[in-house]
Amino acid sequence: MTVSRESFFGPLDDVSGDAGYTEHPERVGFFTDTSVCIGCKACEVACKEWNLLPDGGFDLLGMSFDNTGELSANSWRHVAFIEQPAPPREASPAREADAVDLGLPSFDLPGAGTGEETRTDFRWLMSSDVCKHCTHAGCLDVCPTGALFRTEFGTVVVQDDICNGCGYCVSGCPYGVIDRREGDGRAWKCTMCYDRLRDGMEPACAKACPTDSIQFGPLDELRERARERVATLHEHGVTEARLYGEDPNDGVGGDGAFFLLLDEPEVYGLPPDPVVPTRDAGSMWSRAGVAAAAFAAAAVSVFFGRSRR
């Protein structure tokens, strides 16, 4: 194992290898395609059940159907609901071509039409958020006990028997995912069902998802599939479809769990361009070194010079 600049920032091909695994399975991840999410929250429930997460209390937040609010120590999947005016659609050639003529007799009645004109300009966005399992994970980098570690699958997991609840990871995460559990004192977050992965099973949320909005698999395959999905959606006129977190050149070296979104990330409560704080570790330490040297120089020099004693 060698620590290179790529270990802290930038694209990293073999994330488990960089963490010291000589032989390891390929990196796995989630591709969450929000264009087919129906907001059933089966992922939230399955996650709670499998991981035995405590009840978060009964809250009515007044935020559409979202009464979970955000990812937390007790909620490792969170479905966001956004009610908004739909973007204007241009008639898409692909859609017209897809229509199949069933040959039924038809005649125009008043008000009859394709249905297009009766639709409102409203749309409901739903998205199941989760820990991103970053290539360069802010939480993992700052953990002072080694409780957070990189698994052989390339995911990031907290060891609950090691964590001493220092809380540094909570502030180290540029996505605001990991949190300390009230009354427990330790940090908790999604493990991508590490126990299930080790037994060759997919994570509980992906298993429970009825529309395959949450897809689990080798990250390279998911990235390929996601690019195809975006192309298809663009063809169908859904030009606002975009991927979030799939780019290995982004501020965290790419996410192990990435998304297909239908609006800007911040609309879903996601940071538009997160950067792992470790990117600037070198420059921060050198500035601190300069400040330390100045401090030492000041401390020495105050003992020189004329004394009034």
Partner 1 sequence: MSRSLGRVSAGDGRREQRQAGEEDFRSYYGRRVLKEPVWEWLVPAYLFAGGLSAACAELAAGADLTRRPRLRKAARLGALGGLGTSMYFLIADLGRPERFHHMLRVAKPSSPMSVGTWILVAYGPGVGVAAMAELLPSRLRRSRPGKLLGVLARPAGLASAAVAPGVASYTAVLLSHTAVPAWNEARDRLPFVFTGSAAAAGGGFGMVCAPVDEAEPARKLAAVGAVTELVTSRQLDERLGVVSEAYRTGKAHRLRRWSEYLTAGGALGSLLAGRSRAAAVASGLALLAGSALQRFGIFEAGVESTKDPKYVVVPQRRRVDRGEQA
Q: Among 19, 42, 79, 142, which residue interacts with partner 1 (rule: CB under 8 A)?
A: 142
- Residues within window 66-85 making contact with partner 1, judged by CB under 8 A: 69-70, 80, 82-85
Q: Which of 5, 62, 91, 110 binds partner 1 (CB under 8 A)?
A: 62
Q: Which of residues 18-47 bind partner 1 (CB under 8 A)?
A: none
Which residue lies nearer to partner 1 by CB, 8 or 259?
8
> Smallest distance, Å, CB 75 to partner 1?
13
Q: Could you tell me the CA-to-CA distances from 265 to 31, 55, 115, 243, 307 in Å, in that order?
A: 15, 28, 31, 10, 63
Q: Which helix (H) or strand (E) holds 122?
A: strand 122-130
Shortest distance in whole angstroms from residue 85 CB to partner 1: 7
Shortest Å, Cβ 273 to partner 1: 4
Long-range Cβ contacts of 19-23 (<8 Å, 24+ apart): 19/149, 19/150, 21/152
Residue 147 interacting with partner 1 (CB under 8 A): yes
If one asks whether residue 185 binds partner 1 (CB under 8 A), the answer comes out as yes
* 16, 39, 135, 138: which one binds partner 1 (CB under 8 A): 138
x/- contact string, 84-103, with partner 1 (CB under 8 A)? Answer: xx------------------
Q: Is the CB of 33 or the CB of 141 nearer to partner 1?
A: 141
Interface with partner 1 in residues 251-290 (CB under 8 A): 251, 263-264, 266-275, 277-281, 283-285, 287-290
What torsion, rounded to 10 degrees, do the Cα atoms 194, 197, 199, 202 define? 130
Size of the site for partner 1 (CB under 8 A): 90
Residue 60 near partner 1 by CB under 8 A: yes
186 binds partner 1 (CB under 8 A): yes
Binding flag, residue 8, partner 1 (CB under 8 A): yes
**Pairing of β 156-158 and β 28-33:** unpaired
Pairing label, strands 242-244, 257-261: antiparallel
CB of 210 to partner 1, least distance (A): 24
Q: Buried (b) or exposed (e) across 45-57, using 16+ Cβ within 10 A? A: ebbbebbebeeee
Q: At CB < 8 A and 24+ separation, what contacts does 12-17 make?
A: 12/135, 12/136, 12/248, 12/253, 15/135, 15/150, 15/154, 15/253, 16/150, 16/151, 16/152, 16/153, 16/154
64 is a contact residue toward partner 1 (CB under 8 A): yes
Q: Does 184 bind partner 1 (CB under 8 A)?
A: yes
Of 217 and 238, nearer to partner 1 (C-beta) is 238
H or E element in which residue 288 lies: helix 281-301
Query: 109-131 in b/e burial notation, b at 16+ Cβ within 10 A?
Result: eeeeeeeeeeeeeeeebbbbbbb
Stretch that binds partner 1, among 29-37, 40-48, 199-207, 298-306 (CB under 8 A): 298-306
Residues between 160 and 179 with contacts to partner 1, criterion CB under 8 A: 162-168, 170-179
Enter the tokens of residue 118: 């009766």
